């Protein structure tokens, strides 16, 4: 029913394919045509057992999809239902569902999930996990594969229904979620592939968090800051993202790729590039002048020292 990413020692489920307890992962690499023997329904004895003591990371699309029917602004939703976390052992900040005092998901009731049509991507995947090998270089390819998570409390594995992973994905609405999450997931995996060698500045972390969690703030940032004096965005795109949340969401991934990894997804205005080049030239000229001045001063000090020594010898 659910699947969640973890930085803590909770649950055995992960959006990004890492599982806290590896003994629950079946050692078989699965593809889209592999068979899955599993069924979850309200009559299983474990019904909703998987909706507690877990970490459910929310993707930007999850946040938007859940909060819209609840009629909540991004701010209100984040405050009421999420807590901050780091994504997949990176320094990229994100949010996960805030569990109640008993460690249960706030959306679960004895009758099941109250946001079932809008449930997070991780909840759709479970008990299947998806992971991929990714080449870090720009344009690097990814190879997706699947695996089965078999936790002792989950009785769905004892049911007789079988279907392929492809059918499971369609049944759970995973294809649509993945399509919406893909570019954002790639950003996280790309950051992860850099390991500890590089860290995001505090300013970059703030931009990533705001853009990934709060579309309202991101829209305000695009239209009411210096954003449009820096990036060259065509009028048609601007007209669309002004009102269309999904278009804005996709645009936000391009902005993140461009600002965090220097991709060409968004075009920087040529006058800004010229101004930056002038700024660099200026600072280079300033550094050269400063170095020359320091060198001159050192020579003067040395000459005066030599003169003092010569005078002492007289
Ligand atoms: S969102 Fe729904 S399916 Fe996911 S853990 Fe919460 S109650 Fe369960
Ligand atoms: S069968 Fe598995 S997925 Fe379904 S409710 Fe039980 S524990 Fe959750």
Residue 212 falls inside a structural domain:
no
Q: What is the SS3 assignment for 70?
A: helix
Residue 45 falls inside a structural domain:
yes
Q: What is the pTM of this model?
A: 0.80
Residue 161 falls inside a structural domain:
yes
**CA-wise closest residue to 12 among 188, 138, 136, 149:** 149
Residue 38 falls inside a structural domain:
yes
Residue 75 falls inside a structural domain:
yes
Angle 174-193/165-172 helices, nearest 10 degrees? 110
Q: How does pLDDT run across 215-259, given as a tens digit for each residue?
A: 999 999 999 999 999 999 999 999 999 999 999 999 999 999 999
The answer to whether 256 and 208 are in contact (CB under 8 A) is yes
What angle is formed at CA 84 by the lines to CA 47 and CA 10, rounded to 5 degrees? 40
The answer to whether 261 and 296 are in contact (CB under 8 A) is no
Residue 34 falls inside a structural domain:
yes
Q: How far is the CA of 246 from the centre of ligand 1 (A)?
A: 23
Which ligand is nearest the CA of 126, by number?
2
Residue 217 falls inside a structural domain:
no
Question: What is the C-alpha separation between 85 and 88, in angstroms, rounded?
Answer: 9
Can you give the residue range of the structural domain that contains 170? 22-195
Ligand 2 atom closest to the CA of 153, numbered from 1: 7
Q: What is the pLDDT of residue 9?
A: 38
Ligand 1 atom closest to the CA of 56, numbered from 1: 5
Q: Please report which confidence band the pLDDT of residue 6 belongs to, taking 50, 70 and 90 as the band edges.
A: very low
What angle is formed at CA 210 by the lines to CA 103 and CA 216, rounded to 5 degrees? 100
Instruction: Answer yes or no: is pLDDT of 35 > 80.
Output: yes
Q: Which of 123, 125, 126, 151 to mutate to test the pocket of ligand 1 (most atoms within 8 A of CB)?
A: 123
Q: How far is the CA of 209 from the centre of ligand 2 (A)?
A: 32
Q: What is the pLDDT of residue 272?
A: 64
Domain count across the chain = 1
Q: How far is the CA of 151 from the centre of ligand 2 (A)?
A: 9
Q: What is the pLDDT of residue 25?
A: 85
Instruction: Answer yes or no: is pLDDT of 28 > 80.
Output: yes
User: Residue with the nearest Cα to atom 4 of ligand 2?
Assistant: 40
Residue 215 falls inside a structural domain:
no
Whether ligand 1 lies within 6 angstroms of the CB of 123 is answered as yes
The two structure tokens encoding residue 12: 């055995």
Whether ligand 1 lies within 6 angstroms of the CB of 13 is answered as no
Whether ligand 1 lies within 6 angstroms of the CB of 2 is answered as yes
Q: What is the SS3 assignment for 97?
A: strand
């Amino acid at each position: 029913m659910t699947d969640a990413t973890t930085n803590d020692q909770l649950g055995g489920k992960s959006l990004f394919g890492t599982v806290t307890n590896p003994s629950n992962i079946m050692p078989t690499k699965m593809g889209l045509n592999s068979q899955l023997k599993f069924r979850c329904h309200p009559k299983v004895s474990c019904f909703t057992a998987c909706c507690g003591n877990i970490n459910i990371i929310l993707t930007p699309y999850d946040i938007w999809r859940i909060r819209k029917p609840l009629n909540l602004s991004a701010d209100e939703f984040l405050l009421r239902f999420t807590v901050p976390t780091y994504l997949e052992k990176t320094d990229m900040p994100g949010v996960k569902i805030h569990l109640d005092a008993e460690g249960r998901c706030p959306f679960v009731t004895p009758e099941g999930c109250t946001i079932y049509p809008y449930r997070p991507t991780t909840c759709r995947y479970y008990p299947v996990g998806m992971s991929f090998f990714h080449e870090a270089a720009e344009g690097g390819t990814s190879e997706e594969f699947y695996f089965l998570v078999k936790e002792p409390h989950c009785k769905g594995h004892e049911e007789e229904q079988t279907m392929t992973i492809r059918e499971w994905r369609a049944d759970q609405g995973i294809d649509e979620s993945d399509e919406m999450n893909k570019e954002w997931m790639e950003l996280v995996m790309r950051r992860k592939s850099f390991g500890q060698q590089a860290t995001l500045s505090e300013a970059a972390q703030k931009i990533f968090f705001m853009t990934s969690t709060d579309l309202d703030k991101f829209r305000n940032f695009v239209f009411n800051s210096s954003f449009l004096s820096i990036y060259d965005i065509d009028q048609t795109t601007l007209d669309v993202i002004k009102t269309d949340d999904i278009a804005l969401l996709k645009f936000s991934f391009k902005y993140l790729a461009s600002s965090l990894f220097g991709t060409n997804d968004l075009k920087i205005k040529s006058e800004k590039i010229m101004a930056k080049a002038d700024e660099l030239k200026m600072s280079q000229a300033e550094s050269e002048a400063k170095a020359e001045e320091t060198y001159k001063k050192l020579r003067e000090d040395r000459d005066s020292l030599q003169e003092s020594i010569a005078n002492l010898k007289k």
